[in-house]
Each structure stands twice: as structure tokens, then as C-alpha cells.
Amino acid sequence: MKIIAFIFASVVMLGNVMAPHTSKSSKKVEKYTCVFDADNPFPDATTGISEIGVKVTGKGNTFVSVEYYSDDYNNYLGQYGEGNGDFVPLTKEEACQFAFDHYGDRQ
């Protein structure tokens, strides 16, 4: 009986290892980094860096997250997040514009 249980457990484990892993809620995440320097600062004339993450789930839900930092990463300037918003950035230029537009909304 122990041998049958061992064989069954081995087959199940092998099947889990060999089976392709797909998920109905697979996620696609794009990440962008934008530099706001003296020639192109944030709206309040602060220079810094924004890191933007755009997540689109398999169900079509979206989430955009922006983290704001000083230009040397020494100071955290806040964050802004939006789920299922009206606009989802699909390029780096759009992501940088999104970060700029929501700089005043950060927490």
C-alpha cells in the first residue's frame, strides 16, 4: 500500500512540475523611469525622478502607480496610485506625462 501511495504522489508531483502554468489572472506589468531635470522639472520646479508601474490584469483591470523621488533618490517625495482610471499610459512618454500630471495629487 505504501508503494502505491508513493507512486501516486510521485506521479502527481511530476505532473505539477511538467504541466504548463497558466493563470486566468495573469498580469502584465510595465515599468518606466522618468527624470525631471532643470530643463523639465515637476510642476513646482522641483527636480527629481518618478518611477511608474502600469499593471493590466488578465481580466482587463488596470492600476498605475507612481513613486516620486529627489534626483539623487535621497528623499522620497510621495506616491500616487490609480485603479481603472480613464487613462492608462502605454508608452514611456505617456507614463512621464501621467507622472507630471499627478505630481500634485501625490501623498
Q: By residue range, what is the domain housing residue 43?
A: 23-105
Distant-in-sequence, close-in-space partners of 44: CB < 8 Å, separation ≥ 6: 103, 104
What are 4-40's pLDDT values in tens digits?
Answer: 443 444 443 444 444 444 444 456 789 999 999 999 9
Asked whether residue 56 is assigned to any structural domain, the reply reads yes
Could you give the 3-state DSSP secondary structure of residue 97?
helix
What are 27-80's pLDDT values in tens digits?
Answer: 678 999 999 999 999 999 999 999 999 998 888 899 999 999 999 999 999 999
- Asked if 47 and 38 count as a contact pair (C-beta separation under 8 A), the reply is yes
Q: Which amino acid, residue 68?
A: Y
Asked whether residue 13 is assigned to any structural domain, the reply reads no
Asked whether residue 54 is assigned to any structural domain, the reply reads yes
Asked whether residue 50 is assigned to any structural domain, the reply reads yes
Angle at 14 (CA atoms; ends 13, 20), nearest 5 degrees? 105
